[in-house]
Amino acid sequence: MNEALRRAARLRGTSRPFGSIATKETSTAGGDNARPCCTGRMTAASSDLVDDAGCRPTRVGISACLMGDAVRFDGGHKRDAFLTETFGRFVEWVPVCPEVECGLGTPRESMRLVRVENGVRLLTVRSGVDLTAQMEHFSRSRVSTLVGEDLSGFVLKKDSPSCGLERVKIYDRHGTPARGGRGLFAAALVDAFPLLPVEEEGRLADPRLRDNFVERVFAYRGLRSLFVAGWTVGDVVRFHTAHKLLLLAHAPEAYRQLGRLVAGAGALSRRELERRYIEAFMAGLAQLATTRRHTNVLQHLAGYFKDRLDAASKRELADTIADYRRGLVPLVVPLTLLRHYVRRFDVAYLAGQTYLQPHPKELMLRNHV
Ligand code: SF4
């Protein structure tokens, strides 16, 4: 068994099934201005992996080669510095290498997706061995074990016929590639976890996509902490209240839809409320927050201080927001000023908004959007 497999086995051995949590471990309340657990409270100083309330770590699946494990067909790896050195300080990785774990070993013959009469097959490049059934069987089985891994996201290696999420090359009989495929393991993963934040490492080089993915990971983690045994409608109301401005920055329609859902929660079964809330919430966050929507939210926040600030301070705040809208400063600049006023004037409702800090500040994601 190589090191990648040993690491995966170790992690599996320490996992705790989500469904086995008997009582609510975390509070989403703790006062009107407390944030839901695990969303925006994590600090590098507390332990880097868990939030300051001592919650479970945020666990994220990852293609093992991105961790630096030598599992690629040629015995190499594709270690990703942001994932391992920066984001990795705040999450616990669950590495998976479908090709090694399904028994193909390292090094191995390279493989690719090929379109044939009856669909797309996974074939080795030189000898043409059909690995489709082996990989599909492994993927179904491995994905079923991930149900117990308490995952809040997954980062996949782009372009791989096993792990690639989008635009993986599919070759025709003449060896001509066309982009539009999906790796077999990736397909099984998104099929089994349609709401899980899943992204490729290549797309995470884009600051907006990176910010969006990390936001969704911590938000999904918050939802998993919310909907554990014993949750109440009051918990949902508090969670929703804390995420209002975050939702507004992503998807105003989802913001309104979820508001109606929570207001009418009493008419729904608990199961129905949970299902509909999670689906609509994650669909809303999946929409990228635009500069215009961020500007709207910033102006909304500024409105809380119009009777508290003197004229010069109000002008400075308005100018800072305008500079952000015009692309002269990143989002972190107006947000830092607003956070300062939230603290100074002790505005409880705003202090509880995850929008002000949806992920650990050490990631510095809002310095680039
Ligand atoms: S892309 Fe996936 S299958 Fe290929 S080496 Fe990386 S983890 Fe393994």
Hey, what are 352's tokens?
Answer: 């509880």
Which of helix, strand or coil describes residue 193? Answer: coil
Give the whole-angstrom CA distance, residue 201 versus residue 254: 27
Query: Ligand 1: which of 135, 158, 163 to mutate, most ligand atoms within 8 Å of CB?
Result: 163
d(CA 191, CA 187): 6
Q: Give the C-alpha separation, 74 to 51, whole Å.
A: 39
* CA of residue 269 to ligand 1 center, whole Å: 42
Ligand 1 atom at shortest distance from the alpha carbon of 63: 7
Asked whether residue 308 carries a pLDDT value surpassing 60, the answer given is: yes
Which class for 292: exposed (0-12), middle (13-18), buried (19 or more C-beta within 10 A)? exposed
Q: How far apart are CA 133 and CA 233, in angstroms?
A: 45
Dihedral sign for Cα 309, 310, 313, 316, please: positive
- For the chain, give the mean pLDDT: 87
The residue contributing the CA closest to ligand 1 atom 4 is: 72
For residue 163 and ligand 1, the question of a CB distance below 6 A is answered with yes
Q: What is the pLDDT averaged over residues 260-283?
A: 96
Question: What pLDDT does residue 55 have?
Answer: 61
Is the model's pLDDT at 9 over the cut of 70?
no
> Which token pair is 368?
């680039």
Looking at residue 44, its pLDDT comes to 33
- Whether ligand 1 lies within 6 angstroms of the CB of 158 is answered as no
Q: 53 near 59, Cβ under 8 Å? A: no
pLDDT per residue as tens digits for the range 192-236 = 999 999 999 999 999 999 999 999 999 999 999 999 999 999 999
- Does residue 327 have a pLDDT over 50? yes
Percent of the chain with pLDDT strictly greater than 90: 82
Q: Kindly state the average pLDDT of the residues 32-38.
A: 33
Nearest to 227 by CA among 34, 11, 36: 36
Residue 17 has pLDDT above 60, yes or no: no
% of the chain beyond a pLDDT of 70:
85
**Can you name the residues that pair with 114 across neighbouring β-strands?**
121, 171
Mean pLDDT to the nearest integer, 76-83: 97
- Give the number of the atom of ligand 1 that is nearest the alpha carbon of residue 66: 6
Supply the pLDDT for residue 46: 35
- 279 pLDDT more than 50: yes
Q: Would you list the domain boundaries of the chain?
A: 3-16+56-205, 210-369
Which numbered atom of ligand 1 lies nearest the CA of 98?
A: 3
Lowest-pLDDT choice from 14-23, 107-116, 131-140, 312-321 = 14-23
Instruction: Check pocket membership of 64 for ligand 1, CB cut-off 6 A.
Output: yes
pLDDT at 118: 85
pLDDT tops 90 at residue 145: yes
CB of 91 within 8 A of CB of 60?
yes
**What pLDDT does 56 receive?**
77
- For residues 236 and 263, the answer to whether their CB atoms sit within 8 Å is no
53 CB-contact burial (10 Å; exposed 0-12 / middle 13-18 / buried 19+): middle
User: Residue 6: is its pLDDT beyond 90?
Assistant: no
φ, ψ for residue 64, nearest 5 deg? -60, -30
Q: Cα separation of 311 and 301, whole Å?
A: 17
Pair 274, 233: CB distance under 8 Å: no
Cβ–ligand 1 distance for 135 under 6 Å, the answer no
Give 155's strand partners.
62, 199
Q: How far is the CA of 63 from the centre of ligand 1 (A)?
A: 6
Residue 162 CA: nearest ligand 1 atom is 3
Give mean pLDDT, residues 255-279.
Answer: 96
Give 154's Cβ-side CA count (13 Å radius): 30
Ligand 1 centre to CA of 53 (Å) is: 35
pLDDT tens per residue, range 149-188: 999 999 999 999 999 999 999 999 899 999 999 999 999 9
Among 208, 324, 242, which residue's Cα sits nearest to residue 40? 242
**Residue 96 confidence (pLDDT) above 50:** yes
pLDDT tens for 40-79 read 223 233 334 444 444 679 999 999 999 999 999 999 999 9
- pLDDT at residue 36 above 50? no
What is the helix, strand, coil percentage profile of the chain, to 5?
A: 50, 10, 40
Q: What are 294-303's pLDDT values in tens digits?
A: 999 999 999 9
Q: For ligand 1, is residue 65 a contact (CB within 6 Å)?
A: yes
CB atoms within 10 A of CB 72: 21
Question: pLDDT (tens digit, 9 = 90+) per residue, 226-261?
Answer: 999 999 999 999 999 999 999 999 999 999 999 999
For the ranges 64-68, 283-287, 361-365, the lowest mean pLDDT is seen at: 361-365
